Chain A
Amino acid sequence: QVQLQESGPGLVKPSQTLSLTCTVSDGSINSGGYYWSWIRQHPGKGLEWIGHIYNSGSTYYNPSLKSRVTISADTSKNQFSLKLSSVTAADTAVYYCARVSVDWLLFDYWGQGTLVTVSS
């Protein structure tokens, strides 16, 4: 069973870059057939898709975040990463990584989520 685990700083200062990594176990991010995605959830709010990467190369981003987001992959470590630049308090959220089936566009495996707070 595929497992995903987010890691990274829980506190980021305003205007800095938020960086998170998702480590995937029991499944290769390079095997094809899946997007590897980031989603966030503001406190008490709904889910917001941030973007995903396919085959360690092609990336797709939420238009509202596109100018600040970079998703990349490190196949040697079986990890993919999120960078969100110029953060503000509005970027405070629980960040999830997830696997997405290319065939059905369904999010079938999720990490547990990690809370990132933007504050000075």
Chain B
Amino acid sequence: QSALTQPASVSGSPGQSITISCTGTSSDVGGYSYVSWYQQHPGKAPKLMIYDVSNRPSGVSNRFSGSKSGNTASLTISGLQAEDDADYYCSSYTTSSTVVFGGGTKLTVV
């Protein structure tokens, strides 16, 4: 199975908004609502930020939001803060009953 496609890097200034895309196929992102997003700081385990395309777990800031259109899911972070500087990964369930991750996007808050 091929990794979902994410931009390698995005950047933004504090207070701005950015969007990270995650493109798959009709066999994964396009076929299910089981799309999640994870934040990973260096040397740390990933942290769940969004699940089921657009739901936030308890404790995650409402500055994080998710959406999906066709085979592409998106993560938007508004009001960028220095602590948002991290790597972000999407994941999706697939028709093969497996899970696939995106290649990851490095967000730099400049």
Chain B residues lying within 8 Å of A37, measured Cβ to Cβ, are 99
Q: Across the A-B interface, how many residue pairs have beta carbons closer than 8 Å?
A: 67
* Structural contact, A106 and B51, CB atoms closer than 8 A: yes
Chain A residues with a Cβ under 8 A of chain B: 37, 39, 45-49, 52, 60-64, 96, 100-101, 104-108, 110-113
- Is the pair B45, A110 in contact by a Cβ cutoff of 8 Å? yes
Q: Which residues on B sit within 8 Å (CB–CB) of A113?
A: 45
Which of the candidate stretches B12-20, B69-77, B78-86, B89-97 sits at the interface with the other chain?
B89-97
> B89: which A residues are within 8 A, CB to CB?
46-47
The answer to whether A107 touches B91, judged by C-beta atoms less than 8 angstroms apart, is: yes
Scan B85-110; emit 1 where CB is below 8 A from any A CB, else 0: 00001010100111111111000000
- The reply to whether B45 and A96 contact each other, CB–CB distance below 8 Å, is yes
Q: Are A46 and B36 in contact (CB under 8 A)?
A: no
